[in-house]
Amino acid sequence: MNTTTFDLPRRHALQRRDTLDWVFAALVLLGGAYAFSRYHASMDVYEKGILLCAMPSLIALGWFWKPLRLLCVAAGGATLLAIGLYAQQTDSFGADLAAGEKVFWLKYMLSSQSAILWMSLLFYMSTLFYWGGIFTGAGRNSVAEVVGSKLAWGGVLMALIGTLVRWYESHQIAPDIGHIPVSNLYEVFVLFCWMTTLFHLYYEARFATRSLGAYVMLVVSAAVSFLLWYTVARDAQEIQPLVPALQSWWMKIHVPANFVGYGCFALAAMVALAYLLKTAQTRSLWVGLVAMPVGVIALILAVRFGASLDAATVTGMDAWARKIAGVAVFLAIAVALRSRLTARLPDVVQLDDLMYKAIALGFAFFTIATILGAFWAAEAWGGYWSWDPKETWALIVWLNYAAWLHMRLMKGLRGAVSAWWALVGLLVTTFAFLGVNMFLSGLHSYGTL
């Protein structure tokens, strides 16, 4: 009796699968079998376990959200095409990457750097179309926003192709060089861009509105801008060997889990900005969104002119002052045009619910990532926690969102206070993610600027 009762939901779920669902499942299993048969010699037992668990997980995600099926198949097919093209250009060790760059499709589309540049262009264009939809569209979803959404999907596709091909390229350089591309700032910024966009696209479909794309894609475009600057300034696209502490299977699960959290927190912050523009008093917006950045600029200039600093520090402070000034100008325009920018947003209840769901999901994965990081630290440095600056700021981020969720679930926190909190949370998260690498040093300083 009990066995029959428990089997019914499972049978019902399987009966709802259509032909494309089973085709997708078969393709995933075939792809996993191909990866194992061809690359098992490069995998340790943990990596084989990760591959084994990844296949049913990917099938379940594709069944849960059907657009992922086409995305996965397209990314896998393009990656196999790139590998096939590289295989035609070989040297004494493996694929000759330099010779491969002379092949048209690799040079202009499918090499990792080309694909990531296409990702950058598509995300920029997506942002512009989403914003164009605000000013030109009517109704719930304008033509420009539909185009923006399609471009965002294209950007995610090219990011996945770039990531997978970069993984393959790293194994063609020399023995023991190959690694999953989540080891430095360049690689994790690509990860952040496509993960944040993918979460936005899911919630866009879930809530049946594209009007939030203009807000969410802003933070993605900002990340793309940093990525392009970092590429030019530091030749960051070059694949480097892993330092000893990163030569661990923990990295393969800790870093992606972390960036699920970062992506969700960024999404929640941009929804919070939309919520505030829609509901907050104009005076509080001018104070919180414009006066505060101007105050930070004033503080930077006071330190810059009131202290004896070396030329490099002065140049860096001036650059940051200009960046903050640009943000302040944008936010001032947003406040001035708030009625136009918020006319087509979902109602405040929906915005509040989306903000909560994003933070809850991000907090769950960030918690998992923090626990995994502790195990990794014990393996690499002999202790679970060392109060390294990165660890300390990870704890601050965790406590911030733990407090936000506690206040919501236990005290019914809603409205402008929760939105301001979520927006400030993005600043805290950004410093933990990027600021620690820039201004502090420690065991985690792998992606210095």
How far apart are alpha carbons 233 and 142 in whole angstroms?
A: 38
Question: What is the pLDDT at residue 441?
Answer: 61
Q: Which residue range forms the structural domain that includes residue 89?
A: 82-241
Low-confidence ranges of the chain (pLDDT < 50): 1-3, 6, 8
Name the nearest CA neighbour of 159 among 125, 184, 195: 195
Helices (H), 137-212: 143-171, 185-206
How far apart are alpha carbons 326 and 236 in whole angstroms?
A: 25
Decide if 394 contacts 436 (C-beta within 8 A): no
pLDDT digits (tens, 9 = 90+) for 85-137: 998 887 767 787 888 888 899 999 999 999 999 999 999 999 999 999 888 86
First and final CA of the chain: distance in angstroms? 63
Q: Which of 176, 210, 241 is the last residue of a domain?
A: 241
Cα dist from 261 to 44, 174, 265, 359, 430, whole Å: 27, 33, 6, 8, 12
Question: Domain tally for the chain?
Answer: 2
How far apart are alpha carbons 257 and 348 in whole angstroms?
A: 29
How far apart are alpha carbons 130 and 24 in whole angstroms?
A: 31
**Token pair in block for residue 125:** 């264009």
**Same structural domain for residues 105 and 211?**
yes
pTM for the whole structure: 0.91
Chain-centroid distance, C-alpha 364: 16
Helices (H), 235-387: 250-279, 282-285, 292-306, 311-336, 338-341, 348-381
Question: What is the pLDDT at residue 6?
Answer: 46
**Same structural domain for residues 180 and 58?**
no
Q: Which of 241, 273, 293 is the last residue of a domain?
A: 241
**Token pair in block for residue 347:** 């109602």
**Token pair in block for residue 260:** 């699920």
**Same structural domain for residues 124 and 208?**
yes
**Same structural domain for residues 50 and 171?**
no
**Same structural domain for residues 198 and 138?**
yes
Please, which residues bridge with residue 95 across strands? 90
**Same structural domain for residues 166 and 86?**
yes
Name the nearest CA neighbour of 324 among 298, 359, 360, 350: 298
**Same structural domain for residues 126 and 33?**
no
Cα dist from 435 to 40, 211, 277, whole Å: 38, 31, 27
**Same structural domain for residues 225 and 112?**
yes
Please name the amino acid found at residue 39: Y
Q: What is the CA angle 301-423-220, rounded to 5?
A: 85
The residue written with tokens 């079998």 in the block is 33
Please name the amino acid found at residue 166: R
Torsion sign over Cα 423, 427, 432, 433: positive
What's the half-sphere exposure (Cβ side, CA atoms, 13 Å) at 294? Answer: 10
Q: Classify residue 372 by burial, with Cβ atoms within 10 Å: 0-12, 13-18, 19+.
A: middle
Read off the DSSP letter of residue 246: G
Residue 431 inside a domain? The answer is no
Residue 307 inside a domain? The answer is no
The residue written with tokens 């792998």 in the block is 446
Within 10 Å of residue 17's Cβ, how many Cβ atoms?
A: 12
Q: What is the CA angle 84-88-91, rounded to 5?
A: 120
**Same structural domain for residues 232 and 86?**
yes
The residue written with tokens 């060997």 in the block is 241
**Same structural domain for residues 86 and 234?**
yes
Read off the DSSP letter of residue 95: B
Residue 229 inside a domain? The answer is yes
How far apart are alpha carbons 112 and 370 in whole angstroms?
A: 29
Residue 142 inside a domain? The answer is yes
**Same structural domain for residues 99 and 179?**
yes
Residue 3 inside a domain? The answer is no
Within 10 Å of residue 202's Cβ, how many Cβ atoms?
A: 15
Helix (H) or strand (E) run with residue 212 in it? none
Residue 354 inside a domain? The answer is no
Q: Which of 30, 64, 98 is the last residue of a domain?
A: 64
**Same structural domain for residues 95 and 234?**
yes
Residue 297 inside a domain? The answer is no
Question: What is the pLDDT at residue 13?
Answer: 63
Residue 173 inside a domain? The answer is yes
